[in-house]
């Protein structure tokens, strides 16, 4: 199971490197779909995210005094290079890494959430489309649906509606249906409110606009 997840993570990293290699430098400063971050910022975050180790995360959180937002901002600064080209090389260098936070804090499926959601933060901002593998998106949805909102998950949403993927064999919950593509459901579960525009069903009325 772990080998399968890491293979999917590597595939997503390599695909993003290939897409970013096509972008002119000025497009790296485009605001991404992750609020407050540019495309370059998200790429820097992904570099640091790929480098993280259990001990390294403890040190980073200590420096940030337990503030996740502060820790993320520090990670962006650490991962970004002096130019898009340098950041791209850093991303390319970490495609095969298999390290992450301690699994008691963030199970392995969280790596899929990071790669898919942030990959879409970048692609959606610059007009690049990707047919994300169902094998990567579905486990990411399951992880987000059971993870507390305070830890970046979407459990409160998943407890109010039934999530129905229209392009994958997945149905979660027992409330009013919220239907859409697996990618759109994942993005909503990660707090990307723009993805609500791609969803439909009676469950939509239960969500904040």
The three-state DSSP-derived secondary structure of the chain is CHHHHHHHHHHHHHHHHHHHCCCCHHHHHCECCCCCCEHHHHHHHHHHHHHCCHHHHHHHHHHCCCCHHHHHHHHHHHHCCCCHHHHHHHHHHCCCCCCCCCCCCCCCHHHHHHHHHHHHHHHHHHCCCCCCCHHHHHHHHHHHHHCCHHHCCCHHHHCCCEEEECCCCCEECCCCEEEECHHHHHHHHCCCHHHHHHCECHHHHHCCC
Is 76 in the same domain as 33?
yes
Is 30 in the same domain as 93?
yes
Is 102 in the same domain as 139?
no
Q: Is the pLDDT of residue 154 over 60?
A: yes
> Of 107, 142, 168, which marks where a domain is finished?
107
In this prediction, residue 57 carries a pLDDT of 67
The answer to whether residue 75 is domain-embedded is yes
The answer to whether residue 126 is domain-embedded is no
Which residue range(s) make up the domain with 50?
2-107
In this prediction, residue 1 carries a pLDDT of 59
**Number of separate domains in the chain:** 2
The answer to whether residue 174 is domain-embedded is yes
172: domain CATH number is 3.30.1050
The answer to whether residue 142 is domain-embedded is yes
Q: Is the pLDDT of residue 106 over 90?
A: no
Q: What is the arithmetic mean of pLDDT over 138-146? A: 97
The answer to whether residue 118 is domain-embedded is no
Q: Is the pLDDT of residue 22 over 70?
A: yes
Is 103 in the same domain as 138?
no
Is 163 in the same domain as 103?
no
Is 15 in the same domain as 75?
yes
In this prediction, residue 151 carries a pLDDT of 85
pTM: 0.93
Is 78 in the same domain as 142?
no
Is 39 in the same domain as 88?
yes
**Mean pLDDT, the chain, whole residue set:** 92
The answer to whether residue 46 is domain-embedded is yes
The answer to whether residue 112 is domain-embedded is no
Is 10 in the same domain as 69?
yes
Is 89 in the same domain as 159?
no
Q: What is the arithmetic mean of pLDDT over 153-182? A: 96
The answer to whether residue 170 is domain-embedded is yes
Query: Between the ranges 150-159, 181-190, 199-208, where is the mean pLDDT highest?
Result: 181-190
pLDDT in tens, 80-96: 999 999 999 999 999 99
């Amino acid at each position: 199971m772990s080998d399968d997840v890491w293979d999917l993570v590597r595939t997503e990293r390599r695909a993003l490197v290939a897409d970013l290699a096509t972008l002119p430098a000025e497009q790296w400063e485009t605001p991404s779909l992750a609020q407050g971050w540019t495309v370059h910022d998200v790429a820097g975050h992904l570099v640091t995210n790929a480098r993280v180790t259990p001990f390294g995360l403890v040190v980073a959180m200590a420096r940030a005094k337990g503030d996740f937002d502060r820790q993320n901002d520090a990670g962006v600064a650490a991962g970004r290079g002096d130019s898009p080209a340098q950041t791209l090389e850093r991303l390319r260098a970490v495609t095969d890494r298999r390290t992450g936070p301690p699994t008691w804090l963030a199970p392995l499926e969280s790596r899929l959430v990071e790669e898919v959601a942030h990959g879409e933060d970048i692609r959606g901002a610059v007009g690049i489309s990707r047919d994300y593998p169902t094998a990567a998106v579905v486990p990411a949805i399951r992880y987000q649906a059971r993870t507390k909102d305070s830890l970046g998950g979407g459990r409160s949403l998943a407890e109010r509606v039934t999530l129905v993927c229209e392009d994958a064999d997945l149905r979660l919950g027992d409330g009013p249906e919220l239907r859409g593509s697996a990618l759109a459901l994942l993005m909503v579960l990660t707090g990307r409110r723009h993805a609500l525009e791609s969803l439909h069903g009676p469950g939509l009325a239960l969500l904040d606009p």
